[in-house]
Chain A
Amino acid sequence: MNMGKVVFGFFVLLALTLNFGFFLGDIDNPDHHNVYELFAALVVGLIATVLKFGERSHLGAVLLASSLVVDLQLIAAALVWAVAVHVTEVGLTPVVMASIVSLSGGALLANLLSVVLLTLETAGLSR
């Protein structure tokens, strides 16, 4: 067992689960979506991105790309949140919440792809 692989798999998977946890719930209900969960998803996503740096295989490149998509989507969601609450002070209206959650939904898709690719790679390795 390779400790590096464990850490790598752990962060990729954790990014997906946290993202999923945030995404779960009514799309426009602020009570169903916790800001700390978004924060955790973003931080874990960033760490997963850094871990993917320097993978020179073709699969590694796609993994890195999907991770960058995750970061971009979650940073956008966090920005929307910060602007709505602190800058324009409209608050978490259903419209704002829906756009935040849909952005995180995009990130979820990219995270899912990361995990699928990782699984495929592992499956290919054992064959």
Chain B
Amino acid sequence: MKTESLLFLFFRRMRVPLIVLISAYAIATLGFTLMPGVDDEGNPWRMSMLEAFYVVSYTGSTIGFGEVPYEFTPAQRMWTMVSIYLTVIAWLFSIGSIISLMQDPIYRSALRRARQSRGVRAMNQPFYLVCGYGDTGRIMVGALTSRGHPVVVVDKNREKIETLEVEDLGASVTSFGMDAQKPDNLVEAGLRNRWCAGVIAVTGSDKTNLKVAISAKLLNHSVVVHARAHSESATENMRSFETDYVVNPVEEYVRRMELAITRPDLFRLYHWISSGPGARLVPPREVPVGNWIVCGFTQVGRAVAELLERQGMTVTVVDPNPEGPGRPDGTVAGRGTEAETLTEARVESAVGIVAATSDDADNLSILITARHLNPDLFLATLENGYSTHALFRAAEPDFVGQPSQVIAGYMLCRVSSSLVEPFLSSLLERDNDFARDLLARLLKHQSDDSPEFSGGRISARRAPAIARAIEAGVEVPVSTLLRNPRQRDARLPLEVVLLRRDEEDILCPGDDVALELGDRILLAGRNRAARRVRAALENDRILEYLLVGEDRRNGWVWRQKAVSSERAS
């Protein structure tokens, strides 16, 4: 709703009170001019219009200066009484109407929405549009605002996002309580705004996410779309129209599990990078080979069972419905929460168990019962909701999949730069030793917090100093970027993890690779360290110092000092 129409709505609702007020004043004023009075010398006298309006004005507003200019006659006093009741009641009515209008929830929500649309239109820095404020949405909003990006949140459930207005976040958050499925609502939330950097579709429904992704792709070509999909068909559908990033939590869970089995160090690195804010490096733990138990033949359970079998393990499935479609032979009936079922599934001889039911309480119970029966089991679990997170942490499983955290982590690391995706996909093709080396290099810069990514381009606009040096024929190796601008022998807590040159990606280029114009680079390292590279990109003197090692001290103070030292010698 537009602001102007809100003003008209206000006046339309105030029509009757205003007319009552005008009429009351008019009648009271008219009456005073007609009432017979006497002046101080006893001559008959009647008020003029001005005097009458003056008396009514201070009477109606309950100020009450008394009887001016002359003492009133009984007739005038009678009329004063009439006007007092008339005007005061008219005022009460008008003010009451204004207050009830202000408290009208429809009017207030219209007012609020108009204010928010205005806020979105006035946005002047890149912002993200987050559709859906569930567990995933909450993590995304928290992480994006802590990086300083304004966020617009759209969720159908108004109560969920109302708390957003009072939360203290690092950047401005605008929340709309509306249905993200409707393209008009997305446009109102700033989809076509030129500062809209990305759309993040993380509602609980695949259908809504799909619609958001389609609308975003059609209405704004330059926007980057991240979408979450649970079913395989929705995943395929989104990928078919070039949604930039589609994350399927089941796929991602299985991918991580597979990495944990085949390349444990790569798993640790990958999990550390793409698990969102507060991700911690998991301790190394070999996934044992042998008999496995999978509890719950859900979408995740089925995928994990297939994966384990592919990796050459024997799998016993425990499911309350052993005759259901797709269940392998020998499926044990039960939920897995009881010791009997687990014993029947030969828990004593098993090496690992996967609790993949869709109920978190069951999953926890399975973990605890299984550990009790066989303390050496490798415990993997699925954590469906975020509300029981503390319990899962206390249960200390060896491998946890938390869908909302997995999704948020997947999207968040890719939000920082478009080079993260090629970096991760080439990383996943490498072997475990490579990952171990890279992990060791990154761990030199930080102990626990996951590395922050930052992308850059070697061009005349983004890196003028380096561009000039390259044009002058100077060779600028990659290591120049990583030297500390204050002290060239020290190293910034950063690594160049990807260099893209002519559509070709070089993973972790060596320190002596020379930069070329048009190169794009991806840095990973300690938070906010990437800002310090800027000096080398923009300042010729700092670049020269970093390249050659000499500080050309051409400032006035330094020249004076040089002169005096010459004299001394």
Q: Do A and B bind each other?
A: yes
Q: What's the Cα separation between A46 and B25 when bound, in Å?
A: 12
- Residue in B11, B22, B48 whose CB lies within 8 Å of A53: B11
- Residue in B14, B23, B29 whose CB lies within 8 Å of A47: B23
Q: What's the Cα separation between A119 and B347 when bound, in Å?
A: 92
User: Is A53 a contact of B8 with CB atoms below 8 Å?
Assistant: yes
User: Is B30 a contact of A36 with CB atoms below 8 Å?
Assistant: yes
Q: What's the Cα separation between A78 and B29 when bound, in Å?
A: 14
User: Is B29 a contact of A56 with CB atoms below 8 Å?
Assistant: no
Chain B 445-490 residues near chain A, CB threshold 8 A: none
Q: What's the Cα separation between A86 and B19 when bound, in Å?
A: 29
User: Is A82 a contact of B12 with CB atoms below 8 Å?
Assistant: no
Q: Is the interface of B mostly helix, strand, loop or mixed?
A: helix
Chain B 24-70 residues near chain A, CB threshold 8 A: 26, 29-30, 33, 48-51
A56 neighbours in B (Cβ, 8 Å): 5, 8
Q: What's the Cα separation between A51 and B19 when bound, in Å?
A: 8
7 contacts between A and B (CB under 8 A): A36-B30, A53-B12, A53-B14, A53-B15, A54-B9, A56-B8, A82-B49
User: Is A50 a contact of B18 with CB atoms below 8 Å?
Assistant: yes
**Interface residue range, chain A:** 10 to 19
User: Is B22 a contact of A86 with CB atoms below 8 Å?
Assistant: no
Flag whether A65 is at the interface (Cβ < 8 A): no
Flag whether A116 is at the interface (Cβ < 8 A): no
Q: What's the Cα separation between A79 and B494 when bound, in Å?
A: 77
Chain A 34-68 residues near chain B, CB threshold 8 A: 35-36, 39, 43, 46-47, 50-51, 53-54, 56
Given contacts A85-B48, A86-B48, A86-B50, are A51 and B15 in contact (CB under 8 A)? yes
Residues of B in contact (CB 8 Å), total: 20
A82 neighbours in B (Cβ, 8 Å): 49-50
Chain A 7-40 residues near chain B, CB threshold 8 A: 35-36, 39
- What 1/0 flags go to B112-146 for Cβ under 8 Å of A? 00000000000000000000000000000000000
A46 neighbours in B (Cβ, 8 Å): 22
What is the CB-to-nearest-CB distance from B87 to chain A, in angstroms, rounded to a whole number? 14
- Residue in A35, A47, A81 whose CB lies within 8 Å of B19: A47
Q: What's the Cα separation between A39 and B52 when bound, in Å?
A: 12
Residue of A nearest to B29 (CB): A39
A54 neighbours in B (Cβ, 8 Å): 8-9, 11-13, 15
Q: What's the Cα separation between A35 and B23 when bound, in Å?
A: 18
Q: What's the Cα separation between A50 and B21 when bound, in Å?
A: 11
B26 neighbours in A (Cβ, 8 Å): 39, 43
Q: What's the Cα separation between A39 and B48 when bound, in Å?
A: 12
Residue of A nearest to B21 (CB): A50
A50 neighbours in B (Cβ, 8 Å): 11, 15, 18-19, 22
A36 neighbours in B (Cβ, 8 Å): 30, 33
What is the CB-to-nearest-CB distance from B262 to chain A, in angstroms, rounded to a whole number? 67
Q: What's the Cα separation between A56 and B12 when bound, in Å?
A: 10
B50 neighbours in A (Cβ, 8 Å): 82, 85-86
Residue of A nearest to B22 (CB): A46
B5 neighbours in A (Cβ, 8 Å): 56
- What 1/0 flags go to A62-76 for Cβ under 8 Å of B? 000000000000000
User: Is B22 a contact of A47 with CB atoms below 8 Å?
Assistant: yes
What is the CB-to-nearest-CB distance from A15 to chain B, in angstroms, rounded to a whole number? 13
Q: What's the Cα separation between A53 and B9 when bound, in Å?
A: 9
Q: What's the Cα separation between A47 and B21 when bound, in Å?
A: 10
B29 neighbours in A (Cβ, 8 Å): 39
B8 neighbours in A (Cβ, 8 Å): 53-54, 56
Chain B 258-315 residues near chain A, CB threshold 8 A: none
Q: What's the Cα separation between A54 and B15 when bound, in Å?
A: 9
What is the CB-to-nearest-CB distance from B107 to chain A, in angstroms, rounded to a whole number? 14
What is the CB-to-nearest-CB distance from A18 to chain B, in angstroms, rounded to a whole number? 12
Q: What's the Cα separation between A78 and B26 when bound, in Å?
A: 14
Q: What's the Cα separation between A54 and B6 when bound, in Å?
A: 10
B13 neighbours in A (Cβ, 8 Å): 54
Q: What's the Cα separation between A117 and B216 when bound, in Å?
A: 46
Q: What's the Cα separation between A93 and B248 when bound, in Å?
A: 89
Interface contacts beyond A43-B22, A43-B23: sample of 8 additional A-B pairs, CB < 8 Å, sorted by A: A35-B49, A39-B49, A47-B22, A50-B22, A51-B19, A53-B14, A54-B9, A56-B5
Q: What's the Cα separation between A52 and B22 when bound, in Å?
A: 15
Interface centre among A36, A43, A51, A85, by most B CB within 10 Å? Answer: A43
What is the CB-to-nearest-CB distance from A4 to chain B, in angstroms, rounded to a whole number? 10
What is the CB-to-nearest-CB distance from A78 to chain B, in angstroms, rounded to a whole number? 8
Q: What's the Cα separation between A56 and B48 when bound, in Å?
A: 40
Residue of A nearest to B16 (CB): A50
Q: What's the Cα separation between A85 and B48 when bound, in Å?
A: 10
Given contacts A50-B22, A51-B19, A86-B50, are A39 and B12 in contact (CB under 8 A)? no
What is the CB-to-nearest-CB distance from B187 to chain A, in angstroms, rounded to a whole number? 23
- Residue in A39, A51, A85, A86 whose CB lies within 8 Å of B30: A39
In the A-B complex, the 6 residue pairs with the closest CB atoms: A54-B12, A53-B11, A43-B26, A82-B50, A50-B18, A54-B8
What is the CB-to-nearest-CB distance from A100 to chain B, in angstroms, rounded to a whole number? 13
A86 neighbours in B (Cβ, 8 Å): 48, 50-51
Residue of B nearest to A79 (CB): B50
Q: What's the Cα separation between A47 and B15 when bound, in Å?
A: 9
B49 neighbours in A (Cβ, 8 Å): 35, 39, 78, 81-82
Q: What's the Cα separation between A36 and B51 when bound, in Å?
A: 14
Q: What's the Cα separation between A120 and B262 when bound, in Å?
A: 84
Interface centre among A46, A50, A82, by most B CB within 10 Å? Answer: A50
Residue of B nearest to A86 (CB): B50
What is the CB-to-nearest-CB distance from B291 to chain A, in angstroms, rounded to a whole number? 75
Interface centre among A43, A54, A82, A85, by most B CB within 10 Å? Answer: A54
What is the CB-to-nearest-CB distance from B415 to chain A, in angstroms, rounded to a whole number? 43
A51 neighbours in B (Cβ, 8 Å): 15, 19
A81 neighbours in B (Cβ, 8 Å): 49
Q: What's the Cα separation between A35 and B52 when bound, in Å?
A: 13
Q: What's the Cα separation between A35 and B465 when bound, in Å?
A: 82
Residue of B nearest to A46 (CB): B22
B18 neighbours in A (Cβ, 8 Å): 50, 53
Residue of A nearest to B4 (CB): A56
